[in-house]
Chain A
Amino acid sequence: MSSAETSAEALEAREYFKGISDSVCGIVEAEKAPKIWLPAFAAAVGLTGVLVVSLYILLTEGTGIWGNNNTEAWAWPIVNFVFWVGIGHAGTLISAVLFLMRQKWRTSINRAAEAMTIFAVICAGLFPVIHTGRPWLAYWLLPIPNDMAIWPQFRSPLAWDVFAVSTYMTVSILFWYMGLVPDFATLRDRTKSKLKHTIYGILSLGWRGSARQWHRYERAYLIMAALATPLVFSVHSVVSFDFAVGQLPGWHTTIFPPYFVAGAIFSGFAMVLTLLVPARAIFNMKHIITDQHVENMCKVILATGSMVGFAYGTEFFIAWYSGNMYEGFTFLNRMFGPFAWAYWTMITCNVLIPQFFWFKKIRTSPFIIVGLCILVNVGMWFERFVIIVTSLTRSFMPGSWHYFSPTMYDASIFIGSFGLFFTLFLLFLRFMPMIAMFEVKGASPHAHAGVKHH
């Protein structure tokens, strides 16, 4: 290779790197957001307002405003908790598991997916706390020394849950922020404004891209990925223990941990696509988040959706094979009982809908992808609804059987939590680098420009 060729290759590489910085930082640096951003943000803030008002009423009136009753003590708040935690898992899966598997395509989506994880876990954390009825005493969940010698009961999966979800939240934030530091440094070095320079300067911790620092940074990133990978599996396993350790037919099954984890990844990828397919069009990121990346995610949805379908089948088989009459009744009741409509919604959305992703034509049509992904999330919400509500409303004692009807506050708090989620996500898209620039640069073929093979 002549030196002229080397220079041409090097020049092309540098222009590519600069182009990545320009397009990603351009969103943050632009005076005005894209036209659709402001109305979307206004709508999200409006829904957050609904959440705030509903929470105010909840706190002053008590949990009696919900549809929960003695039979159905968990109901929507716990359905929503499991739903949001599950959504969060795709972010960690993309950032950690795919990193360990050396899947380079993850670099275009991991930042946004990690942000989604954190915002989803914030929404998730809200629900168990308000479900306690007296959220100002929520710190009782933690092992804090007190003069009444009250400690958590560590045989309870609910106590495990506190540790699992709070660890998950903390580690997700650390991992996310660690990834952001070099990109904050890029923003710091580009800005002309003194205020922004100070803010980005603090956020970037004085990062200057030294090789000795990169060496430790990369090692730390690898370790964090290796820690986050078992963590993400443990979190949804522990969430499933909340049910599986109970005695209730329909909950008391050993298949729950893997089945919940597969469902979490399934719903999380659907949410990633729901967010990023429009975002990449609005912010002109199609050259970074390519069609191939979107297709890959569709395939993950297809795979995990089929796993979830298989788990439904296994559950049924075991209900029959175990010969346990209570299990058998519970599952027949799900299919044909008073909540059959919810069950069949779940089967349609979670088992049948993802099968469309077998077709390449569908995997490449953005509108259809978003539509199907929204249906998948509807289905996954109903999965948790079916598990929680059908089992509790038809438990061992027919005397306590009850139909469950939600109230408007159940709905307004759930819808409001979407407002909170989208508010945070839209702020993220506007004010933070939505794509991990240094990772995209490092994973591109240009990163090897001029490398001689010895």
Chain B
Amino acid sequence: MSTDKPIDKVEDKLYGLLAEYESPGALIEAAREVRDAGYTKFDCHSPFPVHGIDPAMGIKPTILPMVTWGAGITGTGLAILMQTWMNNWTYPWNIGGKPLFSLPMQIPIAFEVTVLLAAFATFFGMWGLNKLPQVWHPLFGNDNFVDKATCHGFFVAIEADDPKFDQEGTTATLEKAGATAVEAVRYETSKKHRALPNGVIAFMALSMCLALVPFAYIAKQRASTSDKPHMHINPNMDFQTKNKPQTASDMFADGRAARLPVAGSVARGELKADDHFYRGLVAGEWATEFPKEITLSAETMERGENRFNIYCSPCHGLTGAGTGMINQRADAVGATATGWVAPSNIGQESFAKQPHGQLFNTITHGIRSMPSYGAQIKEADRWAIVFYLRALQRSAHSTIDDVPAGEKPAIR
């Protein structure tokens, strides 16, 4: 039972024949017979995927898995490249001394990016291979198809373009295969019906334009100057009600936000009342004795040597003669001509005459181009250095007779 619409319009064209079948099983049988009859441009339509229809229609497996695979591998490679480039090459990032490149740490992100790209490829690849989205299709002009194809109907459609197509013969084939109805599907060739509705086009155009507005605004702001202050999205984090160091405050008469301690206040352990030990003074004069806190022992001497070698020898040299590495370097580069003040020879007579307290004071505060060491060396250590200086001065003027008899062979 075929029903033909009269061809009363010039642009009316035959798409093909549409046959309805009663069940998924009937659809499979029909597909097989249509294929066996030699048709190639035909398709089946059902509200759900009918299992068993692929072999019946002779559908070849899709290349989609290859697309997925390619995208997945690309994702893995890109992720490893990204992580290596960002953390090893453009910005080598030392984390706890671990090797810059290590594959295990890259696996989680490599996996996620692999899945992401594979999923995108599968999703868009599937629609692309299916030639969707499609605004229009001749079958959508058939009321019976629209009513049932996505709900409870099973259809075979053979296109008029098929080389084997001839209206009567094909109708007979479809009916023989058990069709409950066969219809010719016609469509208007004018493009009017296939275009997106104007409203949709206008909406899309408008939203694309609006989407550009924020970017245009940012671009404009970046290219222009303004005398207005910055935007503060979260003002109370930017302007906190507190005083920062070295700022002004109206609250105090002196106008400064940072407050000084009350006059005469002394921090715990910072009183330093003992002039002899802390300043090397006894009754306003340089001390000529070591303070009672210092034990004059071999141990103190060793401590003094140790500190001297660390702090003093770079300039004064290990013997105190003023020939340390820094002075040698200064001589080598000719710095003496441009105002280099050579370190003193500690062994010379004038220093040997200075009281203990004065040497202590020089270490504490520095002299001429020698900086102060009060901040780096504790008082007891400074006294130990003074003690060691006395030994250096003694050795500077010593003769072979000063060496103990047992040690003499070792020096020769």
Identify the A interface with B (CB < 8 A).
Answer: 6-7, 9-11, 13-15, 17-18, 21, 59-62, 134, 136, 143, 149, 151-155, 157, 159-160, 163-164, 167, 170-171, 174-175, 178, 182, 185-186, 188-190, 198, 202, 205-220, 223-224, 227-228, 230-231, 234, 238, 241, 437-439, 441-442, 447-452
B23-A202 in contact (CB<8A): no
B399 within 8 A of A: no
Which B50-72 residues sit within 8 Å CB-CB of chain A?
Answer: 50-54, 57, 59, 61-62, 64-65, 68
A151, B90: Cβ atoms under 8 Å?
Answer: yes
B132 touching A206, Cβ below 8 Å: yes
Q: Once the chains bind, are A210 and B119 in contact (CB under 8 Å)?
A: no
Report A-chain residues with C-beta under 8 Å of the C-beta of B340: none
Q: Please state if A17 and B23 are interface contacts (CB–CB under 8 Å).
A: no
Could you say which residues of chain A place their CB within 8 Å of the CB of B90? 149, 151
B375 within 8 A of A: no
Q: B149–A153 contact, CB under 8 A?
A: no
Is B133 a contact of A219 with CB atoms below 8 Å? no
Decide: A164 and B108 in contact? CB cutoff 8 A: yes
Q: Is the Cβ of A154 less than 8 Å from the Cβ of B120?
A: no
A220 with B106: CB separation less than 8 A: no
Contact between B111 and A9, CB atoms less than 8 A apart: no
Top 3 nearest A-B pairs (CB, nearest first) are A450-B25, A450-B23, A206-B134
Q: Indicate the member of A153, A205, A212 with the most B CB atoms within 10 Å.
A: A212
CB distance A160 to B108 under 8 Å? yes
A160 contacts which chain B residues (CB < 8 A)? 108-109, 112
Report the minimum CB–CB distance from B324 to chain A (whole Å): 42
CB of B301 closer than 8 Å to a CB of A: no
Query: Is B130 on the interface with A (CB-CB < 8 A)?
Result: yes
Task: Decide: B150 and A182 in contact? CB cutoff 8 A.
Answer: yes
Contact check, A447 vs B51: say whether CB atoms are below 8 A apart.
yes
B152 lies within 8 A of A18 (CB): yes
Please tell me if the beta carbons of A62 and B236 are within 8 angstroms of each other in the complex. yes
Interface residues in B24-78 by Cβ distance below 8 A to A read 24-26, 28-29, 31, 43-54, 57, 59, 61-62, 64-65, 68
> In the complex, how many angstroms separate the beta carbon of B42 from the nearest chain A beta carbon?
10
User: Would you call B292 an interface residue if the criterion is a C-beta within 8 Å of the partner chain's C-beta atoms?
Assistant: no
Interface members, chain B 7-28 (any A CB < 8 Å): 22-26, 28
CB distance from A254 to the nearest CB of B (A): 14
How distant is B151 from chain A, measured CB to nearest CB, in Å? 5
Q: Assuming A174-B120, A230-B115, what are 9 further A-B pairs, CB within 8 angstroms?
A: A6-B23, A152-B86, A154-B83, A182-B48, A220-B64, A220-B123, A224-B122, A449-B23, A452-B29
Q: Which of B49, B137, B147 contacts A214 (CB 8 A)?
A: B49
Whether A171 lies near B119 (C-beta < 8 A) is yes
Residue B176 at the chain A interface, CB threshold 8 Å? no
* 12 pairs, A vs B, C-beta closer than 8 Å: A134-B237, A149-B90, A151-B90, A163-B112, A188-B150, A208-B150, A210-B45, A234-B115, A438-B47, A447-B24, A448-B25, A451-B28
Minimal beta-carbon separation of A190 from chain B (angstroms) = 7
Q: Which residue of A lies closest to B105 (CB)?
A: A155
Q: Does B98 contact A (CB under 8 A)?
A: yes
CB neighbours of A208 from chain B (8 A): 45, 137, 139-140, 149-150
Is B177 part of the binding interface, using a Cβ–Cβ cutoff of 8 Å?
Answer: no
B87 located at the interface, meaning its Cβ lies under 8 Å from any Cβ of chain A in the complex: yes
Residue contact A154 to B112, C-beta cutoff 8 Å: no
Residue pair B109, A163 in contact (C-beta under 8 Å): yes
Q: Which of B28, B57, B132 has the most CB of A within 10 A?
A: B132
Q: How far is the CA of A332 from the CA of B24 in the complex (A)?
A: 63
B91 within 8 Å of A (CB atoms):
yes
Chain A residues with CB under 8 A of B82: 143
- Tell me the complex Cα distance, A18–B122, Å: 31
CA distance A215 to B234 in the complex (A): 54
8 Å CB interface, B198-250 against A: 199-200, 233-237
Assess whether B370 is interfacial by the CB under 8 Å rule: no
Contact of B136 with A by CB under 8 A: yes
Residues of chain B contacted by A171 (CB below 8 angstroms): 115-116, 119
Cα A7 to Cα B129 with chains together (Å):
36
Are B139 and A441 interface neighbours, CB within 8 A?
Answer: no
Quote the shortest CB–CB distance from A142 to chain B (angstroms).
11
- In Å, the complex CA distance between A83 and B51 comes to 40
With A and B bound together, what is the CA distance between A228 and B68 in angstroms? 13
Indicate if the CB atoms of B46 and A13 lie closer than 8 Å: no
B95 at the A interface (CB under 8 A)? yes
Whether A227 touches B95, Cβ cut-off 8 Å, given contacts A9-B23, A205-B133, A217-B130, is no
CB neighbours (8 Å) of B233 from chain A are 59, 134, 136
- Partner of A206 from the list B47, B105, B136, B152 (CB cut-off 8 Å) is B136
Contacts A189-B151, A209-B149 hold; do A174 and B119 have CB atoms under 8 A apart? yes
Q: Which of B25, B112, B147 contacts A167 (CB 8 A)?
A: B112
Interface residues of B in 168-212 (CB under 8 A from A): 197, 199-200
Which residue of the partner chain B has the closest CB to A444?
A: B48
Complex Cα–Cα for A21 and B26 (A): 21
B310 an interface residue at 8 Å Cβ cutoff? no
CB contacts (< 8 Å) of B311 on chain A: these are: none
A211 near B135: Cβ-Cβ < 8 Å:
no
Chain A residues with Cβ under 8 A from B129's Cβ? 216
Please give, as numbers and ranges, the residues of chain A lying within 8 Å of B24 by CB-CB distance.
13, 447-451
Min CB distance A157 to B, Å, is 8
User: In the docked arrangement, what's the CA distance between A164 and B87, Å?
Assistant: 19
Q: A62-B234, A164-B112 are in contact. Are A212 and B150 (CB under 8 A)?
A: no
| Given A208-B45, A451-B52, A14-B116 contact (CB < 8 Å) | no
Closest chain-B Cβ to A249's Cβ sits at a distance in Å of 20
CB-CB under 8 A from A59, the residues of chain B are 233-234
Min CB distance, A36 to chain B, in Å? 29
Take A189-B149, A211-B57 as given contacts and tell me if A134 and B95 are in contact as well, using a CB distance cutoff of 8 Å. Answer: no
**A439 and B48 contact, CB distance less than 8 A:** yes
